């Protein structure tokens, strides 16, 4: 209750996440009501929606413990939770602040991101926008194939030009995760045409220097962009995976409609499975080893033949632990095969076992994307 009061004293809008569950330590609703000296009541409509949630999941009845989640603060607006049982609540009230009463707003949101984020976007964001002065628009571009420092150096002149002048405000951020670089920018001002023009200039400027290293914007991913290019080109793809253990296939099939262009993925972790399923020659393994460009090429050719797809990629590497001086942890070979030629690419990735696997997945998808861009340009 003390923390609530401190928040009300310094802010007109307070947003909390979590503590709306059914267990004994979920006390956000009770604490907020106590702090504001308001009663709590069981909302019949909310209780029925919780019952429906459980019935849809083949439960015969609602667990008694979950009935607590139907408790609503008197005067609060119920915020529908489409992905869980805990409803959110929005409450307007007056709070005594420095000898005078001020209008305040309190939002109680669930903790799990999958429930909290949609509720925030549908309820809190429009509320906050109604109080905003001026216009603010955001953008994000996704980059792959160059380092974070190289990206910053290349776009620095464009950023410096954009922030000049006093009729608008421009902010930038560069974030890196598993070799994917996000360039985030926001433009604020009172003239919407000027804001839109600035955003267009930024996108054109970044595109002129980063070129094909930009693979998308907004919610685009390497998998979704590669998939879209496969659709546009009416092509199919298959994979032979060793060190990634099926993660490339998982990334591709996360995209709705991927059955139109994804043929198959063969996880050949052992040498025996590489020979039996992909037709890898025993002498190749004996002479060059499982982690080699020769093996990567034969794996790609093997899955291309097996699946009869237009493109095939293979991965073999050392994600860790282990490794030797000649073949250290992070060494990965990627094979690429189509009806015209077979290639191999050597990479040395850093990070944890999970990082190396994720970087490998991203790199395969980017190689596929770039191959399709070249084909699409003819």
Ordered by start, the domain boundaries in the chain are 1-130, 135-217, 222-372
Q: Give yes or no for a contact between 368 and 311, defined as CB atoms under 8 angstroms apart.
A: yes
Tens-binned pLDDT, residue by residue, of the chain (378 aa)? 889 988 988 899 999 999 999 999 999 999 999 999 999 999 999 999 999 888 888 777 788 899 999 999 999 999 999 999 999 999 999 887 666 778 899 999 999 999 999 999 999 999 988 877 788 899 999 999 999 999 999 999 998 888 776 656 889 999 998 889 999 999 988 888 888 998 999 999 999 999 999 999 999 999 999 999 999 999 999 999 999 999 999 999 999 999 999 999 999 999 999 999 999 999 999 999 999 999 999 999 999 999 999 999 999 999 988 888 899 999 999 999 999 999 999 999 999 999 999 999 999 999 999 999 976 543
Q: Which residue has the tokens 């410096």?
A: 160
Q: What is the DSSP letter of 244?
A: T
Class of domain 222-372: alpha beta
Same fold, 1-130 and 135-217: no
Exposure of 59 in the CB half-sphere (CA atoms within 13 A)? 13
The pLDDT of residue 320 is 85
Residue reference for tokens 């237009």: 310
Total count of residues recorded for the chain: 378
* DSSP label at residue 259: G
Alpha helices in 211-270 (DSSP H): 222-233, 247-253
Residue 357 contacts residue 319 (beta carbons within 8 Å) = yes
Helix axis angle, 2-10 to 28-36, nearest 10°: 70
Cβ burial of 257 (10 Å; 0-12, 13-18, 19+) is: exposed
- Phi, then psi, of 94 in degrees rounded to 5: -105, 135
Mode of pairing for the β-strands spanning 13-17 and 100-109: parallel
Strands (E), 68-124: 71-73, 77-79, 88-97, 100-109
Query: For 229, how many CA atoms within 13 A lie in the half-sphere containing its CB?
Result: 26
327 close to 348: Cβ distance less than 8 angstroms = no
Cα separation, 211 vs 203, in Å, equals 11
Query: Measured between alpha carbons, how far is 347 from 334 in angstroms, rounded to an integer?
Result: 8
User: Distance between CA atoms of 24 and 38, rounded to whole angstroms?
Assistant: 20
Q: Environment class of residue 98 by beta-carbon count within 10 Å: exposed (0-12), middle (13-18) or buried (19+)?
A: exposed
- Indicate the CATH number for domain 135-217: 3.30.70.2860
pLDDT of residue 10: 87
Check if the beta carbon of residue 263 is closer than 8 Å to that of residue 237. Answer: yes
- 303 close to 328: Cβ distance less than 8 angstroms: no
What is the torsional sign of CA 215, 217, 221, 224?
negative
Rounded alpha-carbon distances, angstroms, from residue 177 to 50, 112, 143, 184, 358? 38, 22, 11, 14, 10
* Cα–Cα distance measured from residue 181 to residue 173, given in angstroms and rounded to the nearest whole number: 10
pTM of the model: 0.75
The conformation of residue 358, written as its DSSP 8-state character, comes to H
Query: What is the CATH T-level fold of the domain 1-130, as seen in this structure?
Result: Molybdenum Cofactor Biosythetic Enzyme; Chain A (3.40.980)
Strand partners, 174: 183
């Amino acid at each position: 209750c003390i923390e609530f009061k401190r928040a009300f004293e310094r802010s007109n809008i307070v947003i909390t996440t979590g503590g709306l569950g059914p267990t004994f330590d979920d006390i956000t609703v009770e604490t907020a009501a106590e702090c504001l000296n308001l009663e709590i009541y069981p909302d019949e409509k909310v209780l029925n929606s919780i019952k429906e949630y459980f019935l849809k999941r083949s439960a015969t009845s609602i667990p008694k413990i979950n009935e607590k989640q139907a408790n609503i603060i008197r005067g609060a607006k119920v915020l529908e939770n489409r992905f869980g049982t805990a409803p959110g609540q929005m409450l307007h009230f007056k709070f005594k602040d420095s000898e005078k009463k001020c209008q305040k707003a309190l939002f109680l949101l669930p903790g799990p991101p999958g429930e909290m984020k949609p509720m925030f976007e549908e309820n809190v964001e429009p509320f906050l926008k109604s109080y905003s002065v001026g216009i603010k628009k955001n953008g994000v571009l996704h980059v792959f194939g160059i380092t974070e420092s190289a990206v910053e150096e290349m776009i620095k002149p464009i950023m410096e030009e954009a922030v000049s002048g006093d009729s608008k405000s421009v902010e930038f951020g560069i974030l890196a995760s598993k070799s994917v670089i996000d360039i985030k920018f926001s433009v604020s001002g009172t003239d919407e045409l000027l804001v839109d023009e600035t955003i267009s200039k930024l996108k054109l400027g970044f595109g002129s220097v980063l070129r094909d290293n930009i693979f998308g914007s907004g919610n685009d991913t390497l998998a979704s962009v590669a998939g879209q290019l496969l659709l546009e080109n009416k092509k199919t793809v298959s994979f032979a995976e060793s060190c990634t253990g099926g993660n490339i296939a998982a990334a591709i099939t996360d995209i709705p409609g991927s059955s139109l262009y994804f043929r198959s993925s063969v996880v050949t972790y052992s040498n025996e499975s590489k020979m039996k399923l992909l037709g890898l020659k025993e002498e190749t393994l004996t002479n060059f080893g499982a982690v080699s460009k020769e093996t990567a090429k034969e794996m790609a050719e093997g899955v291309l033949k097996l699946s009869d797809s237009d493109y095939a990629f293979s991965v073999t590497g050392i994600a860790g632990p282990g490794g030797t001086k000649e073949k250290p942890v992070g060494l990965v070979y990627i094979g690429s095969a189509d009806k015209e030629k077979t290639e191999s690419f050597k990479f040395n990735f850093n990070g944890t076992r999970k990082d190396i696997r994720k970087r490998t997945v991203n790199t395969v998808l980017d190689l596929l994307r770039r191959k399709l861009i070249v084909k699409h340009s003819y």
